[in-house]
Amino acid sequence: MGILGGVSSCLNKVKPDNEPNVIMILVDDLGYGDISFYGQETLTTPNIDKMANEGIHFTNMCTGSTVCAPSRACLLTGRNTGHSSVRGNMPNQMVGDNENTIAKVFKKAGYVTGAIGKWGVGAYLPYDDPAKKGYDYFYGYINMWHAHNFYPEFLIENGKKVFLNNKTKLINGVNPWADTLREGKGVAEVKNEYAPFLFDSKAISFIEENKDNKFFLYLAYNVPHANNEKIPDGMEVPDYYEFEEKDWPRQEKGFAAMIRNIDNSVGSILKKLVDLGLDKNTLVLFCSDNGPHQEGGHQMEFFNSNSSFRGMKRDLYQGGIKTPFIAYWPGVIPERSKSEKLFAFWDFLPTFSELTGQEKPANTEGISFMPTLLGQKQSEEHDYLYWEFYERGGRQAILKDHWKAVKLNVRDTTKKTIFELYNLKNDPEEKVNVAGQNAEVAKQFEKLFRSARDEFDVIPLIETRTHN
């Protein structure tokens, strides 16, 4: 296992005949097993399945992190959490205004850019503004805690509050959940306007208004995330459909309805593209920001959301960082294609650079997967993927070839650091720690854990600690 660096590079470039519109649909806390094409047996997702059947689906796309903010930052900037400016769900971090982003890549290529839905990269207005990150248009939530509330009192449109016909519950005359950093967070008691449905409408309008332009739309829904503040049922929806009659817990009926709504939203987007004659000139992407959650009364096991994988949101095991990923571009991407190659969220920026005929940016750990999208040979591949996560004692993980190393308690001085090593070829469910039988491999991973990252003052790791 020679450790040479993050990327095995190739200078060959791939570019399609034209520069398509791009719609990136990102959903929130959806597990690898929540899509029927990926094995979900109880719920159906026909529109998402259509994308997979008529496009390409990936079995080894990894998210940027195992929670919202750092994962989205990796996607936006092309940096992994060893180098990103956002490494956790904390309000004192954000993507810098001078950092490169996927939106800036599209802007440079002459695209109109829009972001609709949940921004959620750490800070709040006016400090964190999508307009300063390359977006011509924004509508939605800025801070991630605001996005917990599906019936918010307001949303942000191009830097200004747009008030809705909802009312947040007050206790003793105040909103006990919100503060300056988390404005808008809470639980609604007057519920008339459901934010995800508003995102549907705004997305359709954006497409219609830009049908004669090249456009990039980042459409980030805040479901099936829970309203964590609404106890015991954070999975409330406007309509439970036929699931209302199921003999299921209320929260699971809500989760099922959220999956239905996501699929309906995808279907509406695809239909609008056909209606406008844009379907053959639009690349549509679909994925989730991290693994499935166990919040708001929802139980991940109820629908087997993480499929056969170990872990969930906040874990660096495969269940926490694997996402279904589908790319759909009729007439360009070969139908029913499949890729088992290893990619991650920091690959989107170099991929979009190549798609628009630009050079690969310097500050990225990512590679372009354009050849894979187009059914061509993928010459450039990752040498390894790296993650770090500050919650629950601090964790690190590296995926290299068929080996997966995980370190626990890297920030907790009261506990011993735990080192785990898994052979994913023989043990994809990460059940058997084989570190003791592979001392030399473990030693090389220990070196890589130290070299694969930059120090980060906001969330320092205990750099000198090795496993016991």
Q: 216: pLDDT confidence band, cut at 50, 70 and 90?
A: very high
pLDDT of residue 13: 54
Q: What is the pTM assigned to this prediction?
A: 0.95
Q: What is the mean pLDDT of the chain?
A: 94
Contact 221/262 with Cβ under 8 angstroms?
yes
Distance from C-alpha of 103 to C-alpha of 113, rounded to nearest angstrom: 6
Q: pLDDT band at residue 181, thresholds of 50, 70 and 90? A: confident
Mean pLDDT of 36-55: 99
All CATH 3.40.720.10 domain ranges in the chain, comma separated? 18-380
Q: Confidence band (pLDDT; 50, 70, 90) for 3? A: very low
Q: Residues spanned by CATH 3.30.1120.10 within the chain?
A: 385-451
Between helices 195-209 and 250-275, what is the axis angle to 10°? 10
Q: What class does CATH assign to 385-451?
A: alpha beta
Amino acid 221: pLDDT: 99
- For 48-66, how does the pLDDT look when each residue is reduced to its tens digit (9 = 90+)? 999 999 999 999 999 999 9
Q: Does domain 18-380 have CATH number 3.40.720.10?
A: yes
In angstroms, rounded to a whole number, what is the distance separating the alpha carbons of residues 466 and 64? 24
**Tell me, what's the pLDDT at 132?**
96
Give CA–CA dist 152/196, Å, rounded.
Answer: 11
Q: CA 176 from chain center: how many Å?
A: 29
* Distance (Å, whole) CA 316 – CA 64: 11
Q: What is the pLDDT of residues 353-406, one digit of tens each?
A: 999 999 999 999 999 999 999 999 999 999 999 999 998 899 999 999 999 999
